[in-house]
Amino acid sequence: ETIKLQTIAETLETLAHHPIDGVYTSARAVVEKEVLAGVRARLLALDLGVEVLRFAIRDVHAPPEVHAAFRDVASAQEDKQTAINVALRYQVETVNLARGDAAREVEIARSFQDAEVKRATGESKSLDLRSEAFRERPVGNRKRAYLETMEEILANSRKIIRPGWKGSGGVDLWISPREGTPLPMGEVLRGSEIRQAERTPAGGE
């Protein structure tokens, strides 16, 4: 009987601090929690050696005239909370995806940076070695650099080679046929003359 009276007293005191509309709709769980804490404190003060484990409001409704309206309000508040939960879940998923994408982009940028640094370091070392070799043999390396540059420039272009008025002198030109190894220009020209002679009938012009 003492527990019952203390529970009723605590319930009435708690309800006095909450709007009745909230008790009918969304504040029921809050009221139950506060009443349970208050009853436990009262029984502890009385030193009854009894502990209340749970308190629940089983049946509380608005007057029949407005019961349907309160039920609609409670349903709307539940829908609102559901929408909030869905939005929060979407927010968390979106943030996590964005963080993952950002981390991936950072890793890609770091990999590209490392590759560029290594490439630049390699080119720098190669340039240092070439510069050192050039300083050791400036004349020969200057000529080699010139020949390599001309080879790169003239590789895919048509060329007309015209010796000076004194002739080719000691210049020996080599011509690369479509198949096989390069041949001296003299042999290529002689082969062309032989093939031309074979195609020309005897006594013909």
Model confidence at 202: pLDDT above 50: yes
The answer to whether 37 and 17 have CB atoms below 8 angstroms apart is: no
The identity of residue 77, as a single letter, is Q
Q: Tell me: pLDDT of 9 over 60.
A: yes
- The pTM (predicted TM-score) of the whole model is 0.34
Residue 198 has pLDDT above 60, yes or no: no
Domain ranges of the chain: 1-60, 63-156
CA distances to 98, 126, 136, 154, 168 from 143, rounded to whole Å, are: 58, 19, 14, 16, 21
Quick one: DSSP state of residue 16? T
pLDDT tens digits for 122-161? Answer: 989 888 887 777 777 776 777 777 888 888 887 777 766 6
- Total Cβ atoms within 10 A of residue 144: 13
The tens digit of pLDDT for each residue in 161-184 reads 666 656 555 555 555 555 555 555
Instruction: Give the separation between CA 182 and CA 126, rounded to whole angstroms.
Output: 32
CB 46 within 8 A of CB 59: no
